[in-house]
Chain A
Amino acid sequence: MNTHSVIPVLGLLVVASPAVLLAVLGLPLLVGFRLSEQWQSRLTKASVLTGLLAATGILATMLISGSRQEVVELGHWVAIEHEHEHFHFHINFVFDRLSVPFLMLTFVLCGTVGAFAEVYLHRDAGYHRFFLLYALFLLGMVVSALAGTIETLFFGWELVGLSSALLVAYFHQRPGPVRNGHRVWTTYRIADAAFLIAALTMHHLTGAGEFQKLMGSGAWPEGVANIGFWQASLVGFLLLIAAAGKSGMVPFSGWLPRAMEGPTPSSAVFYGALSVHLGTYLLLRVSPLLDVSMPLRIAVIGLGLTSAVFGALASRVQSDVKNALAFASLTQVGIITVEIGLGLHYIALVHMIGHVCLRTLQLLRAPSVLRDHQMLENAVGEHLTGDEVATSRSSSPGQLWLYRFALQRGNLDELLDDWIVHPFTKSFRFFDSLERRWTNLLSGGNSRTSDTLSPYGDSLEDVH
């Protein structure tokens, strides 16, 4: 049995296991059948374990055979050749030094968090929904990690985005989570738009979406981009926006703390750890572009540095555990981005994996902070934050500014609101008013009865 026959089988298994899980968890719900908690958790475990074992098998095979890159083809789905115009849509999965560690990390963490959530969410009304979204997330992560073409990556990327937003809004009985889930979703859309344009541009430039066409044929990270400076810069900047949105880097950082609305395990693994690193993963994947375009490299370093500093500042004033950890994650994501910008690919990869593990553990143990604090105080024998009851220190205007800046989280949400959201809604309201003018004219009066409806018309209580 040679590697050429083993790898496609294992590769398929890796992708199929979460896809099958999604189908098995989702389809019964569609026909109104609810699996028991026990069965859901068994299926989830089986799927994650299969995926992990297959991924380990691939790693072992590759180590033994010394292969550095393996591509599993799922065929050409669309191939249009028409004189000068041609379009290929083509699905393949790449196993290399970048994707295999990330893939295994995904399986290990998702598996652990799945085991955690199985107990933690026991008897919760949304248990089914959680594990369905979990399967969706896992599939998205696996597809994104392995994607060999930009379309495949986009597909996985969207699944991750969708499941993340829905998990943020997990507690949909309360307005806060829904609003924040919505915010996460819209922020992702901006990133997705940039991503989509980048994909189109790539197709336009190379005729296909394979990263190999863009990066050259060398195995990661040795690929050499075989496109020109301008093309590389254009695609690179678009992808940088996409990565910034997904990883919550400046100026998109506002969604990161908002994502802490979900149940602790989903906050932990999804936003605190995996999902937030997807942007940096994308940058690693297309890192050869940086070699071609210096401005792009500078932009990557600049963005990473800004995000890191911002995250470090904001993290210092957060009084609650989850927000502090969310901003701490941002700091590290920023630093990892800087490392990518500097071309330290392996360091970035190691840093990423290390950070993901550490942060997941910290977030899962977030409710223990009070006990840890007491334990440490007992060990040290004094109050860790000083015994003084009142601190009478005057603060300079600069300190006040910095504190205000950090407490208000740099007003980044407001920045986005002012520069993106408001122009957007304003233009649509303008069109709406045009339409209203026309309909009023045609109906000869007020054409919209909904205007007069009160948003909370009826009292909902029957008790007097």
Chain B
Amino acid sequence: MTVLETCEESNATTTDKTADSQVLHWIHQAAHFLPSQGPIEVFVHHNTLHAFETESFHDAVRAGHDRYGAEPYLSEPEYRRLCAAGRITDDELECVIVRDLGESCNNAISELGTRFDIRFAMLRHAIYVGPDAELRWIIAETDTLERFRETTTAINRGRTISASKKWLRNCKQNPHPVRNVESLLNKFRANPDKWSDLEWESFSLHLLWRVCLGGVGAFRGKARQRQFVRPRDLLLHATGEDTDRYVHDMLIRFCAAYVDQGYSDWILPNRDQGFFESFLALFSDATPGTASWLRGLHDELSTLRAGNVSAASSIEASLSELGIAEGDREEFITQSLLSLRGWAGMIWQLESGVDWVVHSIPTGSLVGMLAIQLILEKCAIRHVGAQVFEEYSSVQSILQLAGDRVHDPKPLTVERSAFLLFQVAQMLGWTPLELARLTELEWQKLSQEVESFPSLERRRIFHEAYERGYRHAALDAFATHAERLKAIQPAWGSGRPAFQIATCIDDREESFRRHLEEVQPACETFAAAGFFAVAMYYRGAADGFYKPLCPAVITPDHYVQEDVGYSFEGIHRDRAALRRTLGLASRAFHTRSRTFLGGMLAGSVGSLASVPLVARVLFPRLTARIRQRLGSFLQPPPVTNLQLERYAEAPGPTNGHIGYTTDEMARVVVRMLEDMGLKNTNSFSRLFIICGHGSSSLNNPHESAYCCGACAGKRGGPNARAFAQMANDWRVRGKVAAHGIKIPDDTVFVGAYHNTCDDSVVFFDLDRLPPSHRAEFESARESIEEARRRNAHERCRRFSSAPLNISQDDALRHVEARAQDISQARPEYNHATNALCVVGRRHWQRGLFLDRRAFLNSYDPSQDDDEHSILARILAAAIPVCAGISLEYYFSCVDYRTYGSGSKLPHNLVSLLGVMEGTSSDLRTGLYQQMVEIHEPMRIMFVIESTPAAMLSIMERNAAIARLVRGGWVHLAVIDSTTSEIQVFQDDRFQPYHVGSTAITFASSSLECYQGSREHLPFFSIKEQLGPFDQ
């Protein structure tokens, strides 16, 4: 007997196990659809639709629309506005339709017009299709049946009216071609001969409508059947009660406490045991005063707890209780998790990917979260059932009642199709007479043709045309400008440039470089990913911890620390101690001010807070200066060194293991110089500045998103400084020379840091600059000073709070104040408007005005090997990173509510790792509205100085690049700088691009290009200048 029992039991457990693993599998599948943004401290731009990256772009946005209910493109009215503004031209629309339809473009539909005509008309004129109620209203209450649409041409009006007249004459001879013709005629005065023009117009339209209605009605359109996978949706449609409201309110609060990184004073009890366990422990006791909808909760939880039921088994039980059909379960789990996708995604990230947070969470948390969500959902359903149906028994019977109550009103399928045709008929001048002759089959064909071009398809065509316009303008500009520059020698002739500077590839550095080249034509600029091949954990003199400074995909091996000069060691120690004391005091003040007694004390001296309050809001720049002045007594002493060299074998964070060996340094330097195409001794100038970048702003939880993407959302100054120090080392240079790159002895590298928000530039380790190079440096610094002022001025044109006629000095002050203003929701526009990425030598693109919209990456194909290994490694980083930025901007821009994080205004920092909207909402991922408001959502175009063969071979070798390019997530073009010929990657192959227009506007300076405009600007070719400062 006993044996038998055990046997049964084990059987039961195995089935349980398989059921459990099935549930776990579904959850893991669903987790792919969750946002993959980690804690906000490190903001990595990535493709919002990464889950659909294996599909093509257009399929993926459609899948995103189905899955998340998000907008795939801009709205139709927005595209129409762009058409009206001339941003999308008819030519482009035509080209895109022709390309899209291919051969079938000229197929005539029932001799009324070609497919092209119909589609083009539907794009040119707004089509109104709304929900049934709106349709009913439009027909019954507006003058749709009285007057032609405004855009109907006079010819088409005349045609329709005369056809109607003819029809009426025929009608007398041959009665009843249209049903209910009497009822139609009854609407008008008896004698048609006396009808005014307006009456004829109205009659024609009424007739047209009835003909369409009759024609479409002859064959029945299919009605859509609504299916609810989640009981919540069923209840919402049946009763208007949203069970998610109850569930989410509770779940959000608990999730926030569960993942909290140290904001709240009390830590969630039993947090380390997991989501499910901790929730069970907290809520399985009965509490008087519990919300009425939760009254059955503690019984259920204590039963689960007593039975030691796992989260997965609990999900299994909930699925059965909710009556989810076997086939729907995976979809149900996905939809359930997606209903609170921000929190679910964060929990998934914390348990599966992000390992650097202070308080990590155990694996299995997402499963626990879903289990709890379903338990709460059952409670909420029971509660709603009790309230609405007064049904207290089981969830199933409540859902049964709700299902009975949902009765969709008869959908107006026929009317909808007819109305669509009615509108198209007016645009194309199809007369009632012509239409009345159609057979049933022809009607079906016609209707299908019109229906097969719904809003989503129209928007896709609009979008293609929208991108095409910009893309072709850009390619024309590149080809023309490169052709023009061929004849022009660099300003330094055969000598050496005045100085050289390398910045990050960031689009915000485009204008900085351009201005610098205008200020000092004899300078040469380069760009490489802003960590400058120095992937390291870095700790500044005033930092508490090592933080990675390299792209997020790389895990650095090396540690670098900033040390204070030996003679300042004492001061440093005192200041560190003072900082610590003040830090602890400040921490105590901040947290205690929220408590009972501490708050009392804080409150009684709180009046003093009015001083910083008023000062910081009204005088941000002045306050910042005062704070800086006071803060300088706390900061580490000015003279610091990087502890960069390691002698021990293994790298590590402890003393002796910090830094790089000279061999490793040489590898870093070689890699960087190769990437920039600097292999010849005579291509180096005497001064080489390496400029990292970052951004500082106040009151901005998304600050990391503004910093250097190649430094994991941090500031890239230390990388530039480390690189300069490495490249200056004689031993390193020796080893670099062994790789074939001989850096001239008189070349000095200087590290710098550009703050893209306030446009300041600081230099590192100037004390080590040899006096022989002072003059070069001073002159370079002067040029950089001027360039940053001009850069600030160019940036100000985008800020509507800065007047268009602002002076350069005021512009600089304006951007400085922006960076220090706690009330500023847009300290800078970050990567907004990015649209291009150029990889190639500067000499054929220099002086092309790209309006801060292009990532620029240096690359010299003449220095590359046959394997294109340098290009391959540059693109391995550049394409995914730039595509990630571009796509994140794209999606947050087309739907900032679903893909982005909504408006910044009500953002509320939660658990120190994300933001909610307002008091309690899903964790919001993506970019916020204020960040993307000036963005043009387009896929990025890469213009690479290379050959089709090289690119195809790189795509062969790199799956990520191939996926992005072949899937149409990015556009790709290659340019040959000697012939200025361009080939674009289209339809899975490279095709020659025929330059459309070689007319490019010339400008004498960047200022002339942008002055007086806040809009997106066309491309300009800036004339070369003779020398510095002679504009």
Contact = CB atoms under 8 A, between A and B. Distances in A.
B353 interface: no
Interface stretch (B461-469, B677-685, B906-914): B906-914
Contact of A456 (B237, B604, B606, B610): B237
Contacts of A407: 253-254, 257, 282
Contact of B455 (A258, A262, A462): A462
B292 A350 contact: no
A115 B903 CA distance: 20
Interface in A360-394: 360-362, 364-385, 387, 389-394
Contacts of A413: 291
Contacts of A322: 908, 919
A374 B263 CA distance: 12
Interface string B253-272: 11011001111111111111
21 contacts: A112-B618, A171-B905, A174-B918, A260-B919, A315-B594, A322-B919, A323-B919, A347-B604, A354-B602, A361-B612, A379-B580, A379-B582, A380-B579, A381-B576, A382-B544, A384-B262, A385-B359, A403-B268, A405-B287, A410-B289, A413-B291
A325 B269 contact: no
B694 to A, nearest CB: 14
B770 to A, nearest CB: 34
Contacts of A260: 908, 918-919
B7 interface: no
B580 A380 contact: yes
Interface of B: 40-41, 65, 129-134, 224, 226, 236-240, 253-254, 256-257, 260-272, 281-283, 285, 287, 289-292, 358-360, 362, 405-409, 454-456, 542-545, 576, 579-580, 582-584, 586-587, 590, 593-596, 599-600, 602-610, 612-614, 617-618, 698-701, 703, 800-801, 821-826, 903, 905-912, 916-921, 930, 933
Interface in A294-318: 308-309, 312, 315-318
A116 interface: yes
B269 A399 contact: yes
A435 interface: no
B614 A108 contact: yes
A378 B240 contact: no
A452 to B, nearest CB: 8
Contacts of B263: 318-321, 324, 369, 373
A180 B921 CA distance: 12
A394 B282 CA distance: 12
Contacts of A109: 610
Contacts of A432: none
A389 B266 contact: no
A331 interface: yes
Contact of B264 (A309, A318, A370, A405): A318
A253 B617 CA distance: 30
Contacts of B272: 390-392
A401 B282 CA distance: 8
A374 B587 CA distance: 11
Interface stretch (A119-127, A140-148, A205-213, A224-232): A119-127
Given A112-B617, A119-B801, A385-B262, A369 B594 contact: no
A415 interface: yes
Contacts, number: 343
B596 A365 contact: no
A122 B455 CA distance: 33
Which of B254, B593, B933 has most A Cβ within 10 Å?
Answer: B593
B699 A367 contact: yes
Q: Is the interface of A mostly helix, strand, loop or mixed?
A: helix
Given A324-B264, A379-B582, A455 B240 contact: yes
Contact of A370 (B40, B407, B542, B825): B40
A406 interface: yes
Interface in A322-369: 322-325, 327-328, 331-332, 335, 347, 350-351, 353-362, 364-369
Interface string A413-431: 1110110000000000000
B823 A120 contact: yes
Given A262-B906, A379-B580, A454-B406, A320 B256 contact: yes
A380 to B, nearest CB: 4
B699 A368 contact: yes
A457 interface: yes
Top 4 A-B residue pairs of the complex, sorted by shortest distance between their CB atoms: A379-B583, A354-B606, A385-B262, A358-B606
A192 interface: no
B606 A357 contact: yes
A418 B291 CA distance: 9
A404 B287 contact: yes
A356 B919 CA distance: 20
Contacts of B917: 171, 174, 176
A108 B617 CA distance: 12
A415 B289 contact: yes
Given A124-B903, A318-B264, A457 B133 contact: yes
Contact of A364 (B454, B582, B593, B822): B822
Contact of B599 (A115, A331, A399): A331
A109 B617 CA distance: 11
A168 B313 CA distance: 42
Contacts of B603: 332, 335, 351, 354-355, 358
A370 B131 contact: no
A340 B355 CA distance: 51
Given A319-B256, A324-B594, A357 B921 contact: no
Contacts of B921: 176
B579 A379 contact: yes
B905 A328 contact: no
B599 A332 contact: yes
A464 B264 contact: no
Interface string A116-138: 11111111100000000000000
B614 A112 contact: yes
Contact of B270 (A116, A176, A315, A395): A395
Interface string A425-448: 000000000000000000000000
A370 B613 contact: no
Contact of A350 (B130, B604, B613, B908): B604
Contacts of B224: 459
B918 A380 contact: no
A130 to B, nearest CB: 9
A463 interface: yes
Which of A362, A378, A459 has most B Cβ within 10 Å?
Answer: A378
A74 interface: no
Which of B134, B606, B909 has most A Cβ within 10 Å?
Answer: B606
A64 interface: no
A360 B613 contact: yes
Nearest to A360: B613
Given A262-B906, A404-B287, 15 more contacts: A119-B824, A171-B903, A171-B906, A316-B594, A319-B257, A367-B701, A370-B40, A370-B701, A370-B909, A377-B544, A378-B543, A400-B285, A407-B282, A455-B239, A456-B236
A319 B919 contact: no
B767 to A, nearest CB: 25
A391 B271 contact: yes
Given A367-B701, A463-B455, A115 B606 contact: no
A261 B267 CA distance: 25
Nearest to A451: B405
A376 B583 contact: yes
B513 to A, nearest CB: 29
Contacts of A316: 264-266, 594-595
A439 B170 CA distance: 53
A109 B609 CA distance: 11
A457 B409 contact: yes
A321 B543 CA distance: 24
A395 B576 CA distance: 37
A67 B920 CA distance: 49
Given A380-B584, A414-B292, A315 B613 contact: no
Which of A117, A350, A454 has most B Cβ within 10 Å?
Answer: A454
A400 B271 CA distance: 12
